[in-house]
C-alpha cells in the first residue's frame, strides 16, 4: 500500500493503434485512489487518422490525452527522433516519478530512451517478448526498451527467460498477465455483432453469404506488404481461400497504399472479399467472435483469437508470442502458399486447435500492475542493483 502523501505521477505513453488497447485498463487501474498513483497520458501522434485513433479512444473509454505530440508518420529515424525531441520538454514540465511504455512500437523505445537519460524510471508493460527476428523493427524496439527499463511486466512466462538471458535482474521482472486481454474481457459484451459490420459494407445477398461462414484477414507487416511480389503471392492464395470462406479484410493504411501502388486492387474485387477501412475495436471484436478463422500478421490478434478460442493462421515465419501457438489456437505458417492452404483446409475440416486460455489472461493484469508492484515499488526504497527512484515531486 502506498504511504500517505501526494499521488505519484506516472507519464503513460501511447503512440500506435495496439498501444491503445493496452493502455485502457492501465489508465482505469491507475485512477483507483487506493494505489496512490496519478497518470498523465501522452499520445505521440504516431497514429493519427480517425480510423486509427479516434474511434479507438472513444470505444475503449481512454481519457483524452493530456498531451498530444502530433509527430505523424516518417521514416523510422525521423519518427523516433521527432518523438524524442517533443517528449523531452514534457518530462521537464511534468516531472513524473516514472514513465510507463507499452508494447514495441517506435513510440515505446523513443519515450523510454528520453526518460532513462533524464534519470526517470522506465516501466515496460509487455516486456520480454522475442521473435528472434531482428529484421522486424519491433524486435529492435523490444530488446532496447527492456534493456533500459527499471520495472518489466510480462504477459507469458517465456518472456522472463528471455529477459534473464539478456542479463535483466530477476527482481525487476514481474509476471502480471496480459493487459490486451483485460481490454478484451472488459468489452466482450459490447462487441458489435458481425451482421451489423458486414451489413454496413455489403448488399443483402453478399451479407447473407458471409454470415454463413466468413474469415477475417489483416496484413500490415512491412515484410508482407512492402514487396509487391510477396504481396501478390499472398493475395493470390488468400483469394483461393476466400472462394470457400469469404474474407473480411480491414485495410491498414500502409497496406492500402501498397496494394494501390502495386496495382493489385483487382485481386480483391468481387464477391469473396469485403475490404473496409480499419475497424473500431468493438467491430473487430464482434467479427472475431463469429469468424470461422482469422488470417493475420498482427501480434495482438494472435493473442485475442487465443483468448476467444478462434483458430488463427499467422502469416509470419515466427512469433514473439509463442504461448498462442503452444497453448492457444494459433498456427504459425509463414508465407508459403502450400502451407497456408494446408493449414486452412485442416481448420475447416477439423475445427483447428482446441486451445486454452493462458495463465493470468484473466482480465486482471492492469490491477496486478498497479497493485502488486508499481504502488509498492514507488513507495519503498529502490531494489538493490536498480537505479534509485528520482526524488518525489510535489
Q: Which of residues 168-227 bind ligand UD1 (CB under 6 A)?
A: 220
Helices (H), the chain: 17-30, 55-59, 76-94, 106-117, 137-147, 157-165, 179-187, 194-199, 204-211, 222-225, 228-244, 253-261, 281-290, 300-308, 323-326, 337-350, 365-368, 376-378
Choose the stretch contacting ligand UD1; rule: CB under 6 A; options: 11-19, 127-135, 182-190, 283-291. 11-19
**Smallest distance, ligand UD1 to C-beta of residue 138, A:** 5
Based on the residue annotation, tell me whether 174 is a catalytic residue of this protein. no
Instruction: Assess contact for 105 and 136: CB atoms under 8 A.
Output: no
Give rounded-to-5 percent helix, strand, coil for the chain.
50, 15, 35
Residue number with CB closer to ligand UD1 (301 or 307) = 301
Distance in Å, CB of 351 to ligand UD1, minimum: 29
Question: Cβ 277 to ligand UD1, closest distance in Å?
Answer: 11
What part of residues 98-117 is at the interface with ligand UD1 (CB under 6 A)? 104-106
Residue from the set 2, 193, 253, 390 that interacts with ligand UD1 by CB under 6 A = 253
Cβ burial of 100 (10 Å; 0-12, 13-18, 19+) is buried
* CB neighbour list of residue 99: distance below 8 Å, 6 or more residues apart: 10, 11, 12, 13, 91, 111, 112, 114, 115, 120, 121, 122, 123
User: In residues, how long is the chain?
Assistant: 394
Q: Which of 43, 62, 131, 138 binds ligand UD1 (CB under 6 A)?
A: 138
Q: Which is nearer to ligand UD1, 44 or 306 (CB)?
A: 44
| Cα gap 180→192, rounded to integer Å | 18
Count interface residues toward ligand UD1 (CB under 6 A). Answer: 18
Considering the complex, state which of residue 15 and residue 36 has its C-beta at the smaller distance from ligand UD1: 15
For residues 272 and 304, which CB has a smaller minimum distance to ligand UD1 in the complex? Answer: 304
- What is the gyration radius of the CA atoms in the chain, in angstroms? 21
Closest CB to ligand UD1 among residues 52, 357 = 52
What span, in angstroms and rounded, lies between the C-alpha atoms of 134 and 132?
6
What mask of x and - would describe binding to ligand UD1 in positions 22 to 61, judged by CB under 6 A?
A: ------------------------xxxx--x---------
Residue pair 197/285 in contact by the 8 Å Cβ criterion: no
Q: Which of 47, 174, 220, 252 is catalytic?
A: 220
Min dist CB 278 to ligand UD1, Å, is 8
> Which CB atom, from 17 or from 28, has the smaller least distance to ligand UD1?
17
17 binds ligand UD1 (CB under 6 A): yes
Does 137 contact ligand UD1 by CB under 6 A? yes
Query: Active-site residues: which are they?
Result: 220
Amino acid at each position: 500500500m502506498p504511504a500517505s502523501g501526494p499521488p505519484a505521477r506516472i507519464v503513460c505513453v501511447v503512440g500506435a493503434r495496439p498501444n491503445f488497447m493496452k493502455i485502457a485498463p492501465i489508465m482505469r487501474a491507475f485512477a483507483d485512489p487506493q494505489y496512490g498513483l496519478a497518470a498523465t497520458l501522452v499520445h505521440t501522434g504516431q497514429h493519427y487518422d480517425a480510423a486509427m485513433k479516434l474511434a479507438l479512444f472513444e470505444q475503449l473509454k481512454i481519457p483524452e490525452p493530456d498531451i498530444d505530440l502530433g509527430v505523424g508518420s516518417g521514416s523510422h529515424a525521423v519518427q523516433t527522433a521527432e518523438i524524442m525531441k517533443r517528449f523531452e520538454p514534457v518530462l521537464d514540465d511534468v516531472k513524473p516519478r516514472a514513465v510507463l511504455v507499452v508494447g514495441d512500437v517506435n513510440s515505446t523505445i523513443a519515450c523510454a530512451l528520453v526518460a532513462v537519460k533524464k534519470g526517470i524510471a522506465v516501466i515496460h508493460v509487455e516486456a520480454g517478448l522475442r521473435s528472434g527476428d531482428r529484421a522486424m523493427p519491433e524486435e529492435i524496439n523490444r530488446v532496447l526498451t527492456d534493456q533500459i527499463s527499471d520495472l518489466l511486466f510480462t504477459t507469458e512466462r517465456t518472456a522472463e527467460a528471455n529477459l534473464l538471458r539478456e542479463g535483466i535482474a530477476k527482481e525487476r521482472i514481474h509476471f502480471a498477465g496480459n493487459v490486451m486481454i483485460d481490454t478484451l474481457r472488459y468489452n466482450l459484451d459490447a462487441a458489435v455483432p458481425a451482421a451489423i459490420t458486414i451489413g454496413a459494407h455489403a448488399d443483402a445477398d453478399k451479407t447473407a453469404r458471409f454470415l454463413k461462414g466468413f474469415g477475417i484477414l489483416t496484413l500490415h507487416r512491412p515484410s508482407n506488404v512492402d514487396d509487391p511480389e510477396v504481396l501478390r503471392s499472398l493475395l493470390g492464395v488468400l483469394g483461393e481461400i476466400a472462394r470457400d470462406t469469404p474474407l473480411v479484410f480491414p485495410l491498414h493504411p500502409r497496406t492500402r497504399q501498397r496494394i494501390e501502388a502495386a496495382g493489385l486492387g483487382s485481386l480483391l474485387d468481387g464477391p469473396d472479399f469485403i475490404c473496409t477501412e480499419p475497424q473500431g475495436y468493438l467491430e473487430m471484436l464482434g467479427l472475431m467472435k463469429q469468424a470461422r478463422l482469422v488470417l493475420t500478421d498482427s501480434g495482438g490478434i494472435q493473442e485475442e483469437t487465443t483468448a476467444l478460442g478462434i483458430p488463427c493462421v499467422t502469416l509470419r515465419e515466427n512469433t514473439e508470442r509463442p504461448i498462442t501457438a503452444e497453448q492457444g489456437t494459433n498456427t504459425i505458417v509463414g508465407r508459403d502458399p502450400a502451407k497456408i492452404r494446408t493449414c486452412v483446409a485442416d481448420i475447416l475440416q477439423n475445427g483447428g486447435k482446441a486451445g486454452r486460455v493462458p495463465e493470468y489472461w484473466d482480465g486482471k493484469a492492469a490491477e496486478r500492475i498497479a497493485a502488486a508492484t508499481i504502488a509498492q515499488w514507488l513507495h519503498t526504497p529502490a531494489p538493490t542493483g536498480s537505479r534509485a527512484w528520482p526524488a518525489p515531486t510535489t
